[in-house]
Amino acid sequence: MLIVSEPQTIYLSITELLLTRNDLSLWFRPRMAALRHLRQCPSTGILISQLHTSSCASAKQHYKMLVLGGGSGGITMSARMKRMMGAENVAVVEPSEMHYYQPIWTLVGAGAKSVASSGRPTASVMPSGVKWVKSKVQEINPDTNTVLYKKINYVPTNLHSSYMQIKGLPEGFEHPKIGSNYSVQTVEKTWKALQNFKEGNAVFTFPNTPVKCAGAPQKIMYLSDAFLRKTGKRDKAKVIYNTSLPVLFGIKKYADSLWDIVKRRDLQVNLRQNLIEVRADKQEAVFENLDKPGETKVFEYEMLHVTPPMGPHLVIKGSPLADEAGWLDLNKDTLQHNKYPNVFGIGDCTNLPTAKTGAAVAAQSAILNRTISKVLKNEKPDKKYDGYTSCPLVTSYNTVILAEFDYNGQPLETFPINQAKERRLMYHMKADVMPHLYWHGLLRGLWGGPGPYRKVFHLGMK
C-alpha cells in the first residue's frame, strides 16, 4: 500500500503545499545516482523495496506500507501505521534532515516566536523502528506498482520555485525591505523589515493560486499593524492588503468579523490584485487587476510581505495519480485514491475541496487510519471525512479569531461560544497549546482533530 503526502523540504526559499512544491529538483544538488525501485508483491499486495546501486548487489526489504513525504501528514500516518502493522513493515521516503512546524512562522515573522523553536531534526520525529529512506521521489507509476527515487546528498541553495513565478524574485529577497513567512530562509526577513519600518506603505500579498493556510497572508498584516501601533509608527504607515481573491475570507461568518477589523484599524484591502513583479531596487511591487487582465498598478513600499504562488507537486502532477489539475485524486470521504485502491493520500498534495491546513491533516489522519484498517480486512470504509479544517486568524499579539469549517463552508466550531469574536484564549491556543499538540500529539499519531471534544462541548448536538 502507498500513502502519498507532502515532503517536509526545507524552505529556502517553504507546509502545511503545503506547501505545494513545484519542482523539488531546484532545491537539491544530487551527488549520488543510486536508484531504488519500490514495487508491490503481486501475491500479497504489500510493497517490496528492492535496492539497486551501480556497484553492489541489490538487497531486498519488504514493507506493507510505503509513505511518500515526511511532512505533518506523512509522519502522522507512519506513526499510525507502525501501531497498525508494526514498524518493520513501514517506510517513509523523505529527503529533508529538518522538520518544521510551519504554522508558527506567522508569529516568527512578527517577532513573537523564534525560528529555532519551529524546527526539529527529522530523526527526532520519525517513529522509532520505521525505515527512513532519505531520498527524493523521482517517479510514481501505480500501474506497475513502482516508485523510483534517488538517494541524494543535498545542499539547499535556492528559493522555492514558486517564488520564481514572480518577476524579480527570488533575487529580490537580497534587499532588506522584503520578507515572506512561507520560507524558513525568509521569515526572519519579514521581522527585520517590520522592525526597520520608518514610513510609507506596508504591502501584503495573496497569490492567484491555492495556498497553504489561506489565512496566513493576512495574519501578518494584522500583526504588523499592531506592531506599528505599539512602536508609534502607525500614523506614518499605510497598511495595504492586495489579494487575488474576490473576498477577504472564504467563510462569511469570519469574513464579516475581519471586515470590521479592517475598517476599525484603517487597513486598505484591494481585491482581485495579483503580484506579478517586484522591483526591489526601486521598492516597487507591480500588481495585475484580475478582473481586467493586462491592467497593472505599481505600489511603492517600505515593507513588502510576499505569499508565493503554489501548486501541485510535479512528481504527482506527472503521474497517473493526478486529477486534471495535478492534485492527488482522492475520494473526498474515505481519502482512498479514486482509481488505485492501494493508494491513499493526506494533506496539501490532495484534491480534497477544503483548506490546506495542519488542522485538516489531523482530522484526515483519523479517517484515513480507519479507512486503511477496513481495506486491510477487505471491508468497506465506514467513516467519512467531513472536510473539517481550521484557521486561527491572528489579529494582534494577543487575540485570535478561530475559524473552523467543513467542506460546505459551514462553521464547524469546537467551542460553545462565538468563535468569530477576537479572543485572548484563542491566541494562547495558537501560540502555546497547538505547537505542543503538534509535536507530542499529531506527529505521534495520537491526535485526530477536535471532533470528539466538539460533541462533548456541544452536548452531543454538533
Residue that finishes a domain, picked among 287, 307, 327: 307
- Cell numbers found for residue 405: 469549517
How many domains does the chain divide into?
2
Task: Give exposure, 320-329, as e/b (b: 16+ Cβ within 10 Å).
Answer: ebbeeebbbb
User: What is the CB neighbour count within 10 angstroms for residue 435?
Assistant: 17
Q: Tell me, what's the pLDDT at 183? A: 93
Same domain, 86 and 101: yes
Q: Please give the chain's pLDDT, 462 residues, in tens.
A: 778 776 764 322 222 222 223 222 222 222 223 333 333 333 222 222 222 222 223 444 567 899 999 999 999 999 999 999 999 999 999 999 999 999 999 999 999 999 999 999 999 999 999 999 998 888 888 887 778 877 654 433 223 348 999 999 999 999 999 999 999 999 999 999 999 999 999 999 999 999 999 999 999 999 999 999 999 999 999 999 999 999 999 999 999 999 999 999 999 999 999 999 999 999 999 999 999 999 999 999 999 999 999 999 889 998 999 999 999 999 999 999 999 999 999 999 999 999 999 999 999 999 999 999 999 999 999 999 999 999 999 999 999 999 999 999 999 999 999 999 999 999 999 999 999 999 999 999 999 999 999 989 887 665
Q: Tell me, what's the pLDDT at 462? A: 59
- Residue 71 domain flag: yes
Q: Tell me, what's the pLDDT at 51? A: 27
Same domain, 235 and 282: yes
Same domain, 121 and 188: no
- Residue 433 domain flag: no
Q: Tell me, what's the pLDDT at 458? A: 83
Contact indicator for 358, 409 with CB cutoff of 8 Å:
no
Does this model's pTM top 0.85? My answer is yes
> Which of 169, 137, 150, 393 is closest to 262 using CA atoms?
393
**Gyration radius of the chain's alpha carbons:** 22
Could you list the active site residues? 213, 391
- Residue 29 domain flag: no
Same domain, 140 and 181: no
Whole-angstrom distance, CA of residue 131 vs CA of residue 112: 36
Cα separation values, 81 from 64, 307, 344, Å: 9, 34, 13
- Full domain range(s) for residue 66: 1-11+62-158+313-392
Same domain, 123 and 186: no
Same domain, 275 and 317: no
Same domain, 217 and 284: yes
CATH of the domain at 148: 3.50.50.60
Same domain, 220 and 361: no
Residue that finishes a domain, picked among 263, 279, 307: 307
Residue that finishes a domain, picked among 307, 329, 358: 307
Helix or strand holding residue 251 (H, E): none
- Cell numbers found for residue 399: 487575540
Same domain, 239 and 269: yes
DSSP 8-state secondary structure symbol assigned to residue 308: P
DSSP 8-state secondary structure symbol assigned to residue 307: P
Contact indicator for 69, 94 with CB cutoff of 8 Å:
yes
Whole-angstrom distance, CA of residue 244 vs CA of residue 462: 34
